[in-house]
Amino acid sequence: MRLVFFGTPQFAVPSLEKLAREHDIALVVAQPDKPAGRGMKMQAPAVAVKARELGLPLAQPAKIRTAEFLDSIAALAPDAGIVVAYGKILPAALLSIPTRGFLNVHGSILPQYRGAAPIQRAIERGETTTGVTIIRVDEQLDHGPMLAIETTEIGPDERTPSLAARLSLIGAEALGRVLMSWPVEMPQDHAAATIAPKIEKSEGAIQWSQTTASIYNRFRAFDPWPGVLAGELKLLEMAPAVGHGSPGTILSAGTDGVIVATGDGALRLITVQRPGKGPVAAAELLRGQSRL
């Protein structure tokens, strides 16, 4: 099948690799290079890097709604389009070009967690099961009919990077099967839809009066960005612990960490970081303190 592939981050790479082995990729479209890191040097997104490695045609347009870009896609005469975490909403004029439309790999069990951050939001809200849904793209957000659903468990200590990596592999395999068989489409239950909005940096701020589960789930969800902070102290490694006290009270400290009381229990802080400093063992940094 002749395909055009739209994707940007690492999450989309397994799908691109899978399709490149089994189909004709007429063009890969990724977001433009962006400055990143301490030196703010221009860095290509993961999909662009992989497309070059595979020798695939690559475009990184700043805009995808121009007549010039749309004409270039139409000239390729694709059978289908694939979009995996591309990062922009595809216009109707683009969706109508491939003969069989566009398919999307979405990191949740739709209609739950539509939106930009389904993996992080599922962890943040304490879900124990999630999955991947293959849908036909329409003009509304993660709204189209479903062609496949694959599920997986979320480990009690699992963080976003590991879950995202697993879901990206599950999604790639599911997408491959869909393109081979093109199963009957199933409508979503739109009345049951929930939204997974983009993560904001401010969401990393925690209060010790919150529950242990709430703080720990946010820690797992917001790894690596934006992380979680208690005031200016970034909490890099932690685990649930046994203990009770006034929220923010340091209950004990030792070589295995510092136990701090939460709203309904306690958390063990293992590694922390002050602004402008490197990571350090919590017991070393917080020695002698009674509260956070």
Confidence check: pLDDT of 131 > 80: yes
Q: What is the pLDDT of residues 250-265, one digit of tens each?
A: 999 998 999 999 999 9
Q: What is the pLDDT of residue 287?
A: 85
How far is it, in rounded angstroms, from Cα 171 to Cα 175? 6
Q: What is the pLDDT of residue 14?
A: 98
Exposure of 265 in the CB half-sphere (CA atoms within 13 A): 12
**Are the C-beta atoms of 107 and 123 separated by less than 8 Å?**
no
**Are the C-beta atoms of 233 and 145 separated by less than 8 Å?**
no
Q: What is the pLDDT of residue 140?
A: 93
Reference 261, options 274, 270, 271, 252; nearest CA is: 252
Q: What is the pLDDT of residue 35?
A: 87
Phi, psi of 27 (to 5 degrees): -165, 140
How far is it, in rounded angstroms, from Cα 222 to Cα 180? 36
Tokens for 222, please give them: 């917001």
pLDDT band at 85 (very low <50, low <70, confident <90, very high): very high
Identify the DSSP state of 136: E
Reference 18, options 240, 177, 163, 199; nearest CA is: 177
DSSP, collapsed to helix, strand or coil, labels residue 74 as helix
The whole-angstrom distance between residue 92's C-alpha and the CA centroid of its chain comes to 25
Q: What is the pLDDT of residue 20?
A: 98
How far is it, in rounded angstroms, from Cα 37 to Cα 56? 27
Confidence check: pLDDT of 38 > 80: no
pLDDT band at 25 (very low <50, low <70, confident <90, very high): very high
For the chain, the average pLDDT equals 96
Q: What is the pLDDT of residues 196-241, one digit of tens each?
A: 999 999 999 999 999 999 999 999 999 999 999 999 999 999 999 9
Enumerate domains of the chain plus CATH numbers.
Answer: 2-192 (3.40.50.170), 201-285 (3.10.25.10)
pLDDT band at 26 (very low <50, low <70, confident <90, very high): very high
pTM listed for this prediction: 0.95
Q: What is the pLDDT of residue 170?
A: 98
Q: How buried is 156 (Cβ within 10 angstroms: 0-12 exposed, 13-18 middle, 19+ buried)?
A: exposed
How far is it, in rounded angstroms, from Cα 175 to Cα 168? 10
Tokens for 233, please give them: 């102290």
DSSP, collapsed to helix, strand or coil, labels residue 197 as coil
Q: What is the pLDDT of residues 39-54, one digit of tens each?
A: 778 999 999 999 999 9
Reference 219, options 265, 166, 160; nearest CA is: 160
User: CB neighbours of 291 closer than 8 A, spacing ≥ 6?
Assistant: 248, 249, 250
